[in-house]
A = this chain, B = another copy of it.
Amino acid sequence: MAIIEKPVSMHDGKHMDIVMINALLHSLYDVFDTMVGLDIEPGIPELKQDRVAKGDVSGLIGMKAEGASGSVALTLTQSTIRGISRELLGEEIADSGREAADLAGELTNMLVGGAKRILAEKGHDFDMQTPQLLVGDGHEIVHHCSGQTVLLPVNVGQDVFYIELNFI
């Protein structure tokens, strides 16, 4: 049997899910430990079979590297965003939904920006596209590539929010 010590290659898309989940969760711990001040717990990842968002507000960002491209979304309910806002900003956000969307967009930017830095340290240089904000009950998250979407729940207190990733 051959010795298994091959480096992780972006061209071997087979384990891209694990490489991306790893970078995203490290980034998420950074954001929640250092900025938000709430404990998070990842849940059980699964393959998602439709496009309907689990949250009320989603941020979606495309990423592209040599040999790999796709997108990452963060989707949260209004209630979860309110809880995070209380910790992060020390104040309630307005009911309009505009501030909730802004905060979701900012969290998505921090999540994906952190993951991009972590991936770059491992030699994987990704470009990040401009984030899209998606809002509304039952809105759809249309990922940039036609790959399989992986859904990763993250528990924060009594709430849960979701990261979606879809790479080819």
Contacts and interface: CB of A to CB of B under 8 A. Distances in A.
A146 B1 contact: yes
A65 interface: no
Nearest to A26: B44
A5 B45 contact: no
Nearest to A167: B14
A50 interface: yes
A17 interface: yes
Q: So how many copies of this chain end up in the complex?
A: 2
Contact of A46 (B12, B22, B50): B22
Contact of A17 (B18, B26, B42, B49): B18
Given A5-B49, A44-B25, A15 B142 contact: no
A13 interface: yes
A22 B21 CA distance: 13
A69 interface: no
B47 A4 contact: no
B25 A150 contact: no
A142 B143 CA distance: 37
Contacts of A22: 44-47
Interface of A: 1-2, 4-6, 8, 12-15, 17-19, 21-22, 25-26, 29, 41-47, 49-51, 142-143, 146-150
